Chain A
């Protein structure tokens, strides 16, 4: 790449990010329009960049991030407009960037939830990221969709266990996640998966769950809000009374309930 071309790219990226971060609704709409233009996209990221997108993030994702983290509704509208733009989502790496950065859109409007749903299908090449985004987004619509995905038999049980151990685990102090988990245990989650969900919420077994390149850790219980502790307590009772648990799993639930009670001053 020539120095000139490199400078053109740098200027374009700076300008798009600046506009995306601005509080001007017109500029937000323009950003969304510009990043659907083939020439703009080609300037931002070359073919080689797309070939290496699994290693290095595309530059266009910085523009998406700037829109998504801008609290202005017009910035979010502009972002969401891209989720149905055929030109933009024609490329899987751009779509993946869209999924990743969408975690910041709160509350997610229905079109964004639809987008998440579309890109959370079995073996589609997006689902693990979408599931992570749903949990990181953490809003009611996002967790509602997560619940739906856990109940969907089209997704393999093994995949769901991996979602639990990688993503639910990191959010096991979140009230909405705990409430959704209770509903899943009481209803739509396949029975064989219920002890796995209980285990993820009440225990931590890295030596059983993870491989050398893949691991996650849970938040400290002491950082949970009173509402989360209450939700976890209620969930524990459900787990002990309604889920077929091993002795080890029951002991883990009881131990955690004791800790919850201590923290709540019961």
Chain B
């Protein structure tokens, strides 16, 4: 529902050109109306001296009008000079104000006086003479806001909250008018993720985590942590135009609200206003966050609401016998890589936590960090190792059944930065024996804004289907879930290196959770590697920004989307 549109007409003052009386000053009085309603006080007689102004008390000489449905507002003003026998008419003025409503100082003249009056428009709850590009009225039409400024200038406003970060270069049609482009404000970049960043550092996740409401008693054991700005989902506007709107992060003109879908419920932490809001879940399901400007729905952000699930994991550092057959990563580096990985995984409500079970085998030696071990191995097990071998030794050593097992190795003979080697079957059943499991998502906007997106003027969103990876389990190890990560990710201690390691881990862990490649191979269609697309998830959007892109860089491939979030929570590795 659009905001009410209101304006205020104030008769400010009257300049006496001629008093009409032969001697001395005149005795003027005025009869005024705005939109047919009397304004002012005609019994108030003003002393009218030629060449002087008569100030009209604003309290009595102004009127507000709800113009939401008005085609015009007529302002009338009639002056009279009181006389002994009969009052002399000093002339009448009438002006019709019509949409687009314009603020301003108006004047009109008769032979005897000049009238000055103002029209003020109600903007953000205030009358006054606003900046000329302040928006007075807005009407959502075909995904955009057909707005008028207080100066009466029409503008087309658009606001987007894209679910993919970084925002892909190709966005759905915006339906903006042709001609001279209007400057826009974009918030579309990737995120430099550091291990000490808040867990919610990546904005616009596909899942809002369920957290305990702040302000109450301390959460009970096992309950989610209390929501604060470091753990809530950060939802951010990614695009708006024109830039003259100058929205701020906490702008009261932008009003967010929640529309439950499928049982989901969320609350805002802080005011639900502005370009950026913090949201935490209170009930699992799905919601739409709606963003309104001037009361008009301008953008919708669809998101799942889930508890954050913890996946226990252990790490084995495989050291060869020579200096250059040892991975450079130390347990401290691994903790940093794990921390960054968890900032990626937060988007889909997952968290890898070190498995504290101390059992070990295969010559593994526990480090001082529970869950991280070192193993001395033959050179070829860790250096230039052949991960094409079905019973790949590096990821089998010292594994613990049922938890996620990571092996840090020196290098892979095929040049891989890392690879998932042991992938359990998703709980999503395939449609037919031998077929790959498939998962679907419906809703508006579509997951990753895959066309048709449902973001007007684009067409209504349809159902998106995504193919999952079939299980890959080596013989005799049904509970082995594993991947390796190589030294070729770079210096494990630098910011760029750490993000590379974490990105590789997130990607390969995605495979272990049955996610396929989002865009696979270098061909123009973006589909299908040489192996015939067997690890392709069937979707080609976003082109490069998804973490499951087959080979994109960590600075770009950072996103998990709604359909992937649905899929990963069907892995047997993820607790129910």
Contact = CB atoms under 8 A, between A and B. Distances in A.
Contacts of B535: 212, 215
B389 A51 contact: no
B323 to A, nearest CB: 9
B534 interface: yes
Contact of A217 (B378, B384, B391, B531): B531
Contacts, number: 115
B388 interface: yes
B420 interface: yes
A161 B390 contact: yes
Given A207-B470, A214-B416, A217-B531, A162 B328 contact: no
Interface stretch (A104-112, A122-130, A231-239, A248-256): A122-130
B472 interface: yes
Nearest to A92: B324
B534 A207 contact: yes
Contact of A51 (B328, B418, B470, B516): B328
Among B379, B381, B413, chain A packs the most CB atoms within 10 A around the CB of B413
Contacts of B532: 206, 217
A14 interface: no
A54 interface: yes
A212 B380 contact: no
Interface stretch (B50-58, B92-100, B361-369, B484-492): B484-492
Contacts of A51: 328, 491
A129 B516 CA distance: 28
B529 interface: yes
A128 B488 contact: no
B531 A210 contact: yes
Among B420, B486, B516, B535, chain A packs the most CB atoms within 10 A around the CB of B535
B530 A216 contact: yes
B386 A93 contact: no
Given A93-B324, A127-B380, A128-B384, A213 B508 contact: yes
B324 A52 contact: no
B386 A54 contact: no
Interface in B428-451: none
A134 interface: no
A217 B379 CA distance: 29
Interface in B485-516: 486-491, 508, 511, 516
B385 interface: yes
Given A125-B325, A128-B413, A158-B391, A217 B530 contact: yes
B287 to A, nearest CB: 33
Given A123-B380, A206-B532, A216-B531, A54 B421 contact: no
A91 interface: yes
A191 interface: no
A52 B491 contact: yes
Interface in B462-499: 469-470, 472, 486-491
A13 B416 CA distance: 28
Given A127-B386, A128-B384, A211 B529 contact: no
B388 A125 contact: no
Nearest to B382: A125
A188 interface: no
Contact of B379 (A50, A124, A207): A124
Interface string A97-140: 00000000000000000000000001111111100100000000
Nearest to A51: B328
A223 interface: no
Contacts of A215: 529-531, 534-535
B319 interface: no
A166 interface: yes
A156 B416 CA distance: 22
Interface string A30-64: 00000000000000000000111111000000000
A211 B416 CA distance: 11
A128 B383 CA distance: 10
B390 A128 contact: no
A156 B385 CA distance: 13
A192 to B, nearest CB: 13
Contacts of A8: none
A75 B488 CA distance: 32
B370 to A, nearest CB: 29
Contacts of A123: 378-381
A206 B389 CA distance: 14
B387 interface: yes
B517 interface: yes
B432 to A, nearest CB: 14
B216 interface: no
A211 B390 CA distance: 9
B48 to A, nearest CB: 86
A213 B380 contact: no
Contact of B421 (A52, A156, A207, A211): A211
A41 to B, nearest CB: 14
Nearest to A160: B389
Interface string B277-319: 0000000000000000000000000000000000000000000
Interface string B314-337: 000000101011001000000000
B518 interface: no
B508 A124 contact: no
Contacts of B391: 158
Interface of A: 50-55, 91-93, 96, 122-129, 132, 156, 158-159, 161-162, 165-166, 206-207, 210-217
Q: Which 10 A-B pairs have the closest CB atoms?
A: A128-B413, A123-B380, A213-B419, A215-B531, A217-B530, A206-B531, A123-B378, A162-B388, A54-B411, A125-B379
8 contacts: A52-B490, A54-B411, A55-B489, A125-B325, A126-B384, A162-B388, A213-B387, A214-B416
Given A54-B487, A124-B378, 5 more contacts: A55-B489, A125-B380, A125-B384, A207-B470, A210-B534
